[in-house]
Structure 1
Amino acid sequence: MTSIFQRALGADFDRLHPQLRRRFGFASDDRTACVGTGVMAEIWRGRAFTLPFLYAGATRNILFPERGRDVPFTIQNFAYRDSHDRETVTFVRTFDLGGVRRRFDATMIYSAARGRVVDYLGTHQHLAVDLDLRVDGQGGLHIRTGSQRFHEGLIGMRLPLALSGTARVHEWYDDDAGCFRIQVDVANSRFGPLFGYRGAFTATYLDTAASPVPDSVRPVRESLRD
């Protein structure tokens, strides 16, 4: 089976660094998972008026208000078929902020209707976000968020970008250091920088026949609407 990132990138997938092709190239029937462990050199947030937004997000594992340096970090990427039989990949990031542990959860699918990867943020898949993917000349992956939708029960609405954040993610492999590097920046077009982090990690690959997808990385609720 083709991974959701291969479907979205098409021929450009082969331009990724080999280590990124491995990390983003598996699907549920490959019985493979990737667990990254490392340190975020810096986690930052915007000005004080962003705090209510960040605290609210923390209740559903979407962003958080703490800042820090040299923060231990893990990311869990498991591929599975969800309750709607969609190929799904988890992106569960955990940050150990000196006694406070925060998570930033996402589950991603490929939407044929939208022609791109859709990122469901948080524990209940309230937010569905389109992702635009691009490969740079060094084989790094750039991700930029686009249209965002809010789903709750029968309510579904598109969120104006002026009321939400645009995220830019750059992940690449550092051959000299033998690790992945990542930089994430989230900003609002009116209010400026909101949240971000940068750091490095190494990856371990698991056989999910021996290490099944843990319930802890799955969302509490799965939304059929993308």
Structure 2
Amino acid sequence: MTSIFQRALGADFDRLHPQLQRRFGFGLADGVGCVGRGTMDRIWHGRGFTRPFLALGAKRHILLPQSGVGIPFTIENYAYRDALGRESLSFVRTFSFDTARRWDATMVYNAERGTIVDYLGTHQHVAVDLRPSVDEWGGLVIRSGEQRFHGGPVSFRVPGLVSGVAEVHESYDEDLGRFRIKVVVANRRFGPLFGYHGTFTAAYVTGDAVPSAVKPRRVQVRA
């Protein structure tokens, strides 16, 4: 069974740096998880009006309300089958400020859309289409597309005026022996909202047990 990134990238997956192929190439059948640990050199915010927006999202582990430099960082990626039977990949990021902050996401490949759907937060209220690609140096680039809000009986497309568009660049630095990550979230009208960049190493854990802490509290059936 191929990973969700192999399905989304197709033949381009083989253009990724070998370390990125390993990091994004495991699936359910492999019984492997990837835990990255490192430091974010800088976590930044846009203009002051973004802070209430970020603080609101942080209540459900969406977005980051704090900024800083030299912030310890952990990312936990586990492939597992969710309550709806879908292969899911956790993307749980923990930033160790004075109070630890988490940014949770769960990725699922949607064959009908032909893309990855990223469910954000502890209750998967926000679903985002992701468009992965490979750059000329073998790095992974992920750009977000349409966003949808699902809460109880309410479901709607999030207007671009109030949504944040994310761009993620992940690469492997041969000289450092570390992964590099850069994330920028911006609004089409209001500009940059927040972002971070830094480096980390990855360890691969084996076994069928997936930590319950990386799973969302609610699984969203709507894409």
- CA apart distance, 1:208: 2.3
1:91 corresponds in structure 2 to: 91
Q: How does 1:35-114 map to 2 (within 5 A)?
A: 35-97=35-97, 99-114=98-113
The separation in 2 between residues aligned to 1:137 and 1:47, in whole angstroms, is 33
1:195 corresponds in structure 2 to: 194
2:173 corresponds in structure 1 to: 174
The separation in 2 between residues aligned to 1:139 and 1:205, in whole angstroms, is 21
1:132 corresponds in structure 2 to: 131
1:224 corresponds in structure 2 to: 221
Deviations 1:29-75 (A, max 9, x none): 10000000000000001111011100001100011211100000000
Q: Structure 1 unaligned segments of length 5 or more: list them.
A: none
The separation in 2 between residues aligned to 1:143 and 1:184, in whole angstroms, is 9
- CA apart distance, 1:84: 0.6
Provide TM-score, normalisation by structure 1.
0.97
1:143 corresponds in structure 2 to: 142
The separation in 2 between residues aligned to 1:29 and 1:152, in whole angstroms, is 32
- CA apart distance, 1:26: 0.4
Q: Over the residues paired in the alignment, what is the CA RMSD in angstroms?
A: 0.6
- CA apart distance, 1:217: 0.4
2:161 corresponds in structure 1 to: 162
Provide TM-score, normalisation by structure 2.
0.99
Deviations 1:172-204 (A, max 9, x none): 000111000000000001111101000000000
State the percentage of identical aligned residues: 61
Aligned length: 223
The separation in 2 between residues aligned to 1:146 and 1:53, in whole angstroms, is 20
- CA apart distance, 1:106: 0.2
2:115 corresponds in structure 1 to: 116
The separation in 2 between residues aligned to 1:130 and 1:225, in whole angstroms, is 12
1:28 corresponds in structure 2 to: 28
- Structure 1 residue runs of 4 or more that deviate by more than 3 Å after TM superposition: none
